[in-house]
Amino acid sequence: MTSKPLVSAGINNDDLSDGASMPSTSIVNAIVTPLMTYGQFDGLLNKWNLALEDQEKQFLHQVNQVNAWDRTLMDNGEKIALLHGEVEKVKQDQKRLENELDFVLSQQKELEEILIPLEESVNQQSGAASQQSTDEEHERTYQSAETIDAQLKQMTQDLKDVIEYLNSFAGPANTTDPLQQICKILNTHMNSLQWIDKNSGILQRKVEEVTQIMENHQFMEQKRRARMSFD
């Protein structure tokens, strides 16, 4: 098929040939547009189609990226919410452990205050009434020591469970990670509790030693009274 040139509408040649006989005010200049073949138009149309397809591909690629970023943001938001809940739970557990630790320290101090006069009074006690009071004091002290020891063991186990639970969420060591910092603080608390537990054991052994001294004192006092009664 032979491509025919596209000719714009205008004044024909016959009209132009008669232009000399027309008045100058009635002459109309013909508007001439560039001529374009069908092949040129088809090539330009294909070029536009390719450019449009390329823009469409880029747009779809950007849409996929935005969707991926949106999913990532949603996942991270859920993880942050979960981590925030765990941190709040750890803060509550830490506060509870601190309160229990303060209570244990006060109990330990009270036990020490009880032991000091008890040791001093061992060599000064005499008589049945005094001995009965000492026995009651000794029994109360011994029970306090056992109670403190049981509380320390329970607190140590609770703290160990909390640390293991947190370590299950923790990844590689990172000093800027709040979870790692909390684990470090709890490990310090656990070391403190172990130290208190150790000292509580020492105090308990001390109570047992005082008990043994009192029993020996009672035995010697009974022997002395028996000899005095025979004399």
Question: Is pLDDT of 64 > 80?
Answer: yes
Alpha-carbon gap, residue 66 to 154, rounded angstroms:
52
Decide: 19 and 27 in contact? Cβ < 8 Å: yes
Structure tokens at 192: 């403190």
Residue 116 is predicted with a pLDDT of 77
Between 117 and 29, the more confident residue is: 117
What's the whole-model pTM score? 0.34
Q: Quick one: which of 107, 103, 106, 111 has its CA closest to 203?
A: 111
R_g of the chain, CA atoms, integer Å? 50
Alpha-carbon gap, residue 204 to 193, rounded angstroms:
16
Helix (H) or strand (E) holding 81: helix 38-121
The mean per-residue pLDDT over the stretch 197-215 comes to 73
Residue 205 binned pLDDT confidence (cut-offs 50, 70, 90): confident
3-state SS, residue 174: coil
Q: For 163-197, write each residue's pLDDT tens digit.
A: 666 666 555 555 566 666 666 676 776 677 777 76
Residue 129 is predicted with a pLDDT of 47
Decide: 201 and 149 in contact? Cβ < 8 Å: yes
Domain ranges of the chain: 38-127, 174-225
